[in-house]
Amino acid sequence: YVGNERRATLCREALETGPPGGYRYVIWLHSSPFPTRSAGDKAGFSEPRIYAQGNFGGNDYWFFEFDSRDQRRIARVTRTPVQDPNQPQTSDPIPARLEADAYLVQVAAAVDVALIVLTAVIIDHCEHQDKLPPAQAAAAAGSIAGSNGAR
């Protein structure tokens, strides 16, 4: 039973200014009627509410209110890659497996914490999917696509 369902869509968007190849993730919140899983369906879109920008590869980025005049930061995510002691040592700066406590999420008081954490997990998946072995990447993609409330 879901008492109050919320859904969000993340869109990766190229930056108009800044370094070449720079991008951000824009988070759209949906109201009823909710969109289907097809990419072209925009049912329930009102406007983008927040976006994430920063060093995604280095796991250090901020969430901002979309179109805010003062560009107020509402949350920050940092992740310290810690090599799993059971995995062989590699020179890869982003190990395939991380310790469970490697994330730090700081959220302003009036912000939906679940939305920020779920979005951070999806961003992490999008950024590091190519580093996973093919079977693990397919399993991770299936679990995110099947999760209720995020695409």
Token code pair at residue 103: 């994330």
Domain segments of the chain: what residues? 7-145
Q: Per-residue pLDDT tens for 8-20?
A: 788 888 888 877 7
Q: Per-residue pLDDT tens for 82-116?
A: 666 676 666 655 555 555 556 778 888 888 887 88
What pLDDT is stored for residue 133 in this prediction?
57
16: Cβ contacts below 8 Å, ≥ 6 apart: none
Q: How confident is the model at residue 55 (pLDDT cuts 50, 70, 90)?
A: confident
In angstroms, what CA-CA distances link 7 with 15, 79, 124, 146?
25, 25, 19, 13
* 9 close to 27: Cβ distance less than 8 angstroms: yes
Q: How confident is the model at residue 143 (pLDDT cuts 50, 70, 90)?
A: very low
Q: How confident is the model at residue 148 (pLDDT cuts 50, 70, 90)?
A: very low
What pLDDT is stored for residue 149 in this prediction?
40
How many residues are recorded in the chain? 151
Mean pLDDT of 47-72: 81
Q: Determine the Cα–Cα distance for residues 82 and 85; give it in Å rounded to an integer.
A: 9
Q: Determine the Cα–Cα distance for residues 35 and 1; give it in Å rounded to an integer.
A: 20
Among residues of the chain, what percentage have pLDDT more than 90? 1
pLDDT of 60 higher than 80 = yes
Mean pLDDT of 41-49: 65
Q: Per-residue pLDDT tens for 122-139?
A: 888 788 776 655 555 444
Alpha-carbon radius of gyration of the chain: 16
- Virtual torsion, Cα 141, 137, 56, 49, nearest 10 deg: 0
